[in-house]
Structure 1
């Protein structure tokens, strides 16, 4: 065999082996591609899982930041409350007359909590309940009358004679703005003359008392009784009367010590608050006067509009609660004699709507109304309430439910009383604050409803005082929070039940005389139903 043949044979053998190995190599390549695709899919899944875990961590960190911020604000409020609590031991510095409330720029607690989706869901549940009220009312009207009826006669009746309310309120505002301001300004300008100081002070005090009694005492009561205003219009006049009295008193109380301390040198003008600062105070959501408050840089008009829209929705919510849960029940009860059985059944019927009314009043006024005016006036201190719903004692509930009124009662009632008595008689000071609060609440309800039935006074001055001392700040267990909520449900049920029963008793058995005992005796106690 030649060399050429040998080389050809070798080439054919090599080619044969190569061709026989090629399928195996192709299979290996396909396996490699499949393995690569699987690796890429695995990497994509891992990337997705990694992105998912990173997103979850980001959401959790954001949620933790919001919770920590809410808890931090609560702890700061608690610390401030600890420093201003009546039972604090260091009272020598706290009760000096020249110390008072310090305003700080901060948001309302609910605005912060609504940033958390879990809390916002509870808010959505209340909206769903309102929609359910609307649908059920429309369905009942359609079944009974065969057509859809949206009858708001209750609104038209309750807010009747709004023209009278507007001009009476305008006169009250004009006096509250100009009366105390100019009387005090004249007194301040004449106060530093040595020979006439006592006479000027006495004349200014008598003039101011007479003007306050006439325009903020007698005039609103005359308007309510003379024009026989309906309930909602009555409450507007009476509550504005109380607000103007508290505002003007705060202005007098804060300005008088400043004038007495101010001794200008010859040729220097007397330093006196500007009228614009007092006008701002009459509308800003606080009852403690200051010449300057912390202000926000701009106004969020969409926030203002949303708050007024929520107030309107709350009014409709109240309307449907009355129409669906209260009026049908107590209309039927009005035909039954007043007895223990009737009262207990009506009480439990009224507990749930009563609690809804309490929460609506809190949300519509203390959150929406005050925040709307604070935003329009760029008022930065939005702490109108604290986390009263977490209270384990009624003492803490009373302090955190309404910070605006609590501050006024604390600084001008409790603290001034202790200062006058040398920091003694703490229990008497507390009782005096409860008595004033009870009298004012009863006054508002008596003139608002048009009859005297001292349910509010008894619950504030009686049960409220007992609960304040019995369920004090030493109660820390969550069980006491359950007890507090149970007592609130029962208390609101008592209010709604007794006032509704008396309202229908006044209709069924109107008064026949004007003697004192007939005016103060509840008609539901003596009315004989036919």
Structure 2
């Protein structure tokens, strides 16, 4: 029997017991009121149950889509691994260098997550924090100076000499587009001639090395040092130098085996990549060269515009972090001698802004910048990162933080090293990848800031290696995710703290000589602020 029937029976029994004491109509009225309360309560419960069912159905549909995509990616990876294992069986467990990345049309993870209102609310919280920074800056300026002051002198200084940056970047792009392409084209057209193969290959290799060293090695460093570019302009030149080196190496690495395998028949022309495919590769958001990529049917220009607006907003966000949280603290710290006490205090001051800088760099570059160029070029594979924020190990964090660079290091560093050593020395291959990454990071920071302070190298080649092996994929507990985030906060605090202290030390105590030890010794270690 249902609940309403039971309650009706109880009402009838109660009415039968009280008929002799109360009028019948009073019992009828009370019965109707009771039925009305039951109906309203039942209706409210039915609405709540219906809303709960719809919400559960919506969440399940989203989870099913994500699960199907994950299963699809896993099956493709499994098929590639199975194919690789089959090839290894025929080659005595030896990797083949021509088995590379497979591009698949897929969306960025944050674009999918932002469709969920709960995740979008976290994004809105960061926007609210930016508004709070702006309001607090205006309020402080009004209180201190009696008027609203919102100047951007830091931007004007950091991005100075943009004209020099533009023409230097244009020369680097022109060489990267035409130099390796035509040098390899000439080599491909001559190498099939008997008696000249070794000589042609040797001359081509020497020419290519000399051209790469001159235009992508010495030339950017000369521009940075000769014109004494400010920090942001320096980073543009150096980061583009690194990108062009990686892009051109990928083109050479992917094209050379294809040319070696290709032996044209008599009267037939040699198959060689088109210049347009190489030009497309130089701008598309990947470091792995392919002649053809999966493409989207159309361009969403409103999506492109919103991403560039978000990049601009991220730059303003970075400006307010530096102005409100970093510069006042470290400018005052520069008046004190460098000691363990000042370092610890500055470290905890820098942990929060350092983490904000990390999140801004990830969002502005790996999501907005790469997605904007991918949309303009209709590049369909948008997996520039994975869910690194859920990592319970640093090994997984390094693999998922930056998929674009990780793919290049994995295929051209780690896997080629294993192929050359006969699928042995895995630990040495991992260490070599960490060493290359650490050296490149330190090179960029040294030329970008204008002083040598090997903080980035030590954290990558030292602490990073230890964490990679200590906090490995066997760590699955959520506690390890908390530990990982704590280590990231501390690590970012160390970076911001030491580089800011050294920056002001270089200003307060400029170098007086050019000896090697004076150039490589941090000024914050010896500078006394009196």
State the TM-score, normalized to the length of structure 1.
0.88
Question: How far has the Cα of 1:93 moved from its partner?
Answer: 6.4
Aligned Cα RMSD in Å?
8.5
Question: How far has the Cα of 1:171 moved from its partner?
Answer: 0.1
C-alpha offsets along residues 130-159 of structure 1, whole Å, 9 cap, x if unaligned? 111111111111111111111100000000
Residue 142 of structure 1 contacts residue 148 of structure 1 at CA under 8 Å; is this kept in 2? yes
Distance in 2, matches of 1:121 and 1:4, equals 42
Distance in 1, matches of 2:44 and 2:52, equals 12
Distance 1:281 1:66, change over 3 A: closer
Distance 1:11 1:335, change over 3 A: closer
C-alpha offsets along residues 136-186 of structure 1, whole Å, 9 cap, x if unaligned? 111111111111111100000000000000000000000000000000000
Give the stretch that moved more between structures: 19-28 or 350-359. 19-28
Residue 93 of structure 2 contacts residue 423 of structure 2 at CA under 8 Å; is this kept in 1? no
Question: How far has the Cα of 1:273 moved from its partner?
Answer: 0.3
Q: Secondary structure at the match of 2:89?
A: coil
Question: How far has the Cα of 1:424 moved from its partner?
Answer: 1.0
Question: How far has the Cα of 1:90 moved from its partner?
Answer: 12
Distance 1:183 1:56, change over 3 A: closer
Residue 287 of structure 1 contacts residue 405 of structure 1 at CA under 8 Å; is this kept in 2? yes
Residue 238 of structure 1 contacts residue 447 of structure 1 at CA under 8 Å; is this kept in 2? yes
Residue 70 of structure 1 contacts residue 113 of structure 1 at CA under 8 Å; is this kept in 2? no
Give the structure 1 partner of residue 162 of structure 2. 162
Distance in 1, matches of 2:499 and 2:136, equals 26
Give the stretch that moved more between structures: 306-315 or 62-71. 62-71
Q: Secondary structure at the match of 1:240?
A: helix
Structure-to-structure mapping, 1:30-179, within 5 angstroms? 57=57, 61=61, 95-179=95-179
Distance in 2, matches of 1:6 and 1:328, equals 73
Distance 1:372 1:91, change over 3 A: farther
Runs of 4+ in structure 1 over 2 Å off: 1-95
Q: Secondary structure at the match of 1:20?
A: coil
Distance 1:92 1:109, change over 3 A: farther
Distance in 1, matches of 2:257 and 2:6, equals 127
Q: Secondary structure at the match of 1:111?
A: helix
Distance 1:324 1:72, change over 3 A: farther
Distance 1:206 1:256, change over 3 A: same
Question: How far has the Cα of 1:349 moved from its partner?
Answer: 0.2
Question: How far has the Cα of 1:453 moved from its partner?
Answer: 0.2
Q: Secondary structure at the match of 2:428?
A: helix
Give the structure 2 partner of residue 199 of structure 1. 199
Question: How far has the Cα of 1:528 moved from its partner?
Answer: 1.2
Larger Cα Rg: Structure 1 or Structure 2? 1
Residue 74 of structure 1 contacts residue 387 of structure 1 at CA under 8 Å; is this kept in 2? no
Question: How far has the Cα of 1:95 moved from its partner?
Answer: 2.3
Give the stretch that moved more between structures: 92-101 or 370-379. 92-101
Q: Secondary structure at the match of 2:32?
A: helix
C-alpha offsets along residues 217-256 of structure 1, whole Å, 9 cap, x if unaligned? 0000000000000000000000000000000000000000
C-alpha offsets along residues 429-455 of structure 1, whole Å, 9 cap, x if unaligned? 111100000000000000000000000
Residue 294 of structure 1 contacts residue 380 of structure 1 at CA under 8 Å; is this kept in 2? yes
Q: Secondary structure at the match of 2:268?
A: coil
Residue 70 of structure 1 contacts residue 109 of structure 1 at CA under 8 Å; is this kept in 2? no
Give the structure 2 partner of residue 450 of structure 1. 450
Distance 1:463 1:22, change over 3 A: closer
Residue 314 of structure 1 contacts residue 364 of structure 1 at CA under 8 Å; is this kept in 2? yes
Residue 508 of structure 1 contacts residue 529 of structure 1 at CA under 8 Å; is this kept in 2? yes
Residue 285 of structure 1 contacts residue 374 of structure 1 at CA under 8 Å; is this kept in 2? yes
Distance in 2, matches of 1:435 and 1:307, equals 34
Residue 88 of structure 2 contacts residue 94 of structure 2 at CA under 8 Å; is this kept in 1? no
Residue 238 of structure 2 contacts residue 444 of structure 2 at CA under 8 Å; is this kept in 1? yes
C-alpha offsets along residues 38-84 of structure 1, whole Å, 9 cap, x if unaligned? 99999999789868966775576557656776797699889989999
C-alpha offsets along residues 311-362 of structure 1, whole Å, 9 cap, x if unaligned? 0000000000000000000000000000000000000000000000001000
Question: How far has the Cα of 1:98 moved from its partner?
Answer: 1.5
C-alpha offsets along residues 163-219 of structure 1, whole Å, 9 cap, x if unaligned? 000000000000000000000000000000111111100110010000000000000
Give the structure 2 partner of residue 222 of structure 1. 222
Question: How far has the Cα of 1:96 moved from its partner?
Answer: 1.0
Question: How far has the Cα of 1:408 moved from its partner?
Answer: 0.5
State the TM-score, normalized to the length of structure 2.
0.88
Specify every segment of 5 or more residues in structure 2 that has no aligned partner in the other structure, as ranges: none
Distance 1:73 1:124, change over 3 A: farther
Specify every segment of 5 or more residues in structure 1 that has no aligned partner in the other structure, as ranges: none
Distance 1:75 1:396, change over 3 A: farther
Q: Secondary structure at the match of 1:460?
A: helix
Distance in 2, matches of 1:287 and 1:356, equals 27
Give the stretch that moved more between structures: 75-84 or 276-285. 75-84
Distance 1:267 1:221, change over 3 A: same
Distance in 1, matches of 2:157 and 2:205, equals 42
Question: How far has the Cα of 1:500 moved from its partner?
Answer: 0.1
Distance 1:378 1:31, change over 3 A: same
Give the stretch that moved more between structures: 77-86 or 49-58. 77-86
Distance in 2, matches of 1:378 and 1:58, equals 30
Distance 1:481 1:54, change over 3 A: closer
Distance in 2, matches of 1:457 and 1:3, equals 72
Q: Secondary structure at the match of 1:405?
A: helix
Distance in 2, matches of 1:206 and 1:348, equals 51
Work out the number of aligned pairs and report it. Answer: 530
Give the structure 1 partner of residue 523 of structure 2. 523
Residue 142 of structure 1 contacts residue 149 of structure 1 at CA under 8 Å; is this kept in 2? yes
Distance 1:493 1:84, change over 3 A: farther
Distance in 1, matches of 2:2 and 2:122, equals 100
Residue 187 of structure 2 contacts residue 200 of structure 2 at CA under 8 Å; is this kept in 1? yes
Q: Secondary structure at the match of 2:21?
A: helix
Distance 1:194 1:12, change over 3 A: closer
